């Protein structure tokens, strides 16, 4: 029992049971398999993105997101600007307590450089239903190239617990034909 003191004080010199050694070996080998799968899926998987991260500050990132939003807003929805940036451009998405801002409207089949950063603390970017997941740390700007291949309405869900409003931190992204 772990909650009582060991009867043999020098417990680490005790012989290890064969079955325990087998389990340790299995766990170690499985660890190795998972390690190499990580490298394999980086190339062959569809969820692992070759993303980039750059240092930023909340002020600098907010300024870029606001500049894009001022220039390309096409309408408003529930108090959020809906932004239609030109294909091929850099698009910015702010994560903050507890929203994703603004609503991006992208064109199907076009590529964009999507920048995501947090203005306060850690959030999780999860684009559904295509299941792209990124950790969003304050002070870092995550960049990924996206080429949406299906039109429709996507949900951006925060999947990192970020406080009392975490469950309400759901945003939207549109992809149009």
Within a 10 A sphere around the Cβ of 165, how many other Cβ atoms?
A: 11
Q: Which is nearer to ligand CUA, 141 or 160 (CB)?
A: 160
Nearest-approach distance from CB 39 to ligand CUA, in angstroms: 29
Q: Which is nearer to ligand CUA, 142 or 169 (CB)?
A: 169
**Which residues touch 166 (CB under 8 Å, ≥6 apart)?**
98, 158, 160
Nearest-approach distance from CB 80 to ligand CUA, in angstroms: 16
Q: Which is nearer to ligand CUA, 117 or 162 (CB)?
A: 162
* Chain residues in the site for ligand CUA (CB under 6 A): 98, 123, 158, 160-162, 166, 169
Output the DSSP codes for 84-135.
Answer: -PPTTSEEEEEEETTEEESEEEEETT--EEEEEEESSS-EEEEEETTTEEEE
Q: Which is nearer to ligand CUA, 119 or 162 (CB)?
A: 162
Nearest-approach distance from CB 167 to ligand CUA, in angstroms: 8
Nearest-approach distance from CB 1 to ligand CUA, in angstroms: 39
Q: Is 121 exposed, middle or buried (0-12, 13-18, 19+ CB in 10 A)?
A: middle
User: To 10 degrees, the CA torsion angle through 68, 70, 75, 81?
Assistant: 70
Q: Is 126 exposed, middle or buried (0-12, 13-18, 19+ CB in 10 A)?
A: middle
Say if strands 80-83 and 132-136 run parallel, antiparallel, or are unpaired: unpaired
Nearest-approach distance from CB 119 to ligand CUA, in angstroms: 11
Q: Which is nearer to ligand CUA, 85 or 124 (CB)?
A: 124
């Amino acid at each position: 029992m772990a909650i009582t003191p060991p009867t043999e004080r020098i417990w680490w010199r005790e012989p290890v049971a064969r079955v325990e050694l087998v389990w340790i070996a299995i766990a170690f080998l499985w660890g190795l398999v998972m390690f190499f799968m990580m490298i394999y899926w980086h190339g062959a998987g569809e969820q692992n993105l070759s993303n980039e991260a750059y240092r930023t500050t909340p002020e600098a990132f907010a300024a870029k997101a606001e500049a894009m939003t001022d220039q390309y807003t096409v309408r408003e929805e529930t108090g959020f600007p809906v932004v239609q940036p030109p294909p091929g451009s850099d698009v910015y998405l702010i994560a903050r307590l507890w929203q994703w801002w603004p609503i991006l409207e992208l064109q199907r089949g076009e590529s964009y450089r999507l920048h995501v950063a947090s203005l306060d603390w850690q959030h999780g970017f999860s684009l559904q239903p295509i299941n792209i997941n990124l950790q969003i740390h304050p002070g870092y700007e995550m960049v990924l190239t996206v080429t949406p291949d299906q039109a429709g309405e996507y949900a951006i869900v925060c999947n990192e617990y970020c406080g009392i409003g975490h469950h309400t931190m759901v945003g939207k992204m549109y992809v149009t034909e």
